[in-house]
Amino acid sequence: MIDIKVVNKSDNDLPIFSTSNSAGVDIRAFLDENILIKPGERVMIPTGLFIELPSGYEAHIRPRSGLAIKNGITVLNSPGTIDADYRGEIKVILINHSKESFTVNSGDRICQMVINKFESFNWISSESLSNSDRGEGGFGHSGIN
């Protein structure tokens, strides 16, 4: 388990894991007034949360399945990535894929956040790549039916 510094400027409690095996925490909206998202519209929702991730970690902002199936609301740039050197407020881009308007209220759970360890890498220029069973087969070509 890692420690993450957080500044909470919202009036919401800090996000918590719902169960002992939850991969992420639900993030809540922090609004001065409700926001109406019309069908096809996208909006940026503030959370009042600011975090300091350790080097070598990132945070992913992901949709909540309940909002997606029940209301057609999802995170537009999913997963949204928060880099370890970002210190600004976490804001979430939501889009309404339904045919009905949807209201976001302050305190509503709007997304989930998962923390991941990552590896930096170096490019090595090459004229060719090694062969594999899959080769150049792209989308839908994993060989598994």
- What's the fold here for domain 5-15+23-117? Deoxyuridine 5'-Triphosphate Nucleotidohydrolase; Chain A (2.70.40)
Instruction: Please choose, from the candidates 50, 76, 62, the residue with its C-alpha nearest in 3D space to the C-alpha of residue 109.
Output: 62
Amino acid, res. 124: I
Token code pair at residue 131: 């062969």
| Predicted TM-score of the model (pTM) | 0.87
Average pLDDT, integer, range 111-133: 94
Q: Where are the domains of the chain?
A: 5-15+23-117
Q: Taking the mean position of all CA atoms in its chain, how far away is CA 50?
A: 15
- When pLDDT is cut at 50, 70 and 90, the band that residue 104 belongs to is very high
How large is the average pLDDT for residues 71-97? 97
pLDDT in tens, 15-36: 999 999 999 999 999 999 999 9
Q: What is the pLDDT of residue 141?
A: 61
**Average pLDDT across the chain, whole number:** 94
Determine the average pLDDT of the residues in 69-84: 96
Q: Report in angstroms the alpha-carbon separations of 41 from 18, 56, 67, 95, 104.
A: 30, 34, 15, 6, 13
Q: Residue 125: exposed, middle, or buried by beta-carbon count in 10 A (0-12, 13-18, 19+)?
A: exposed
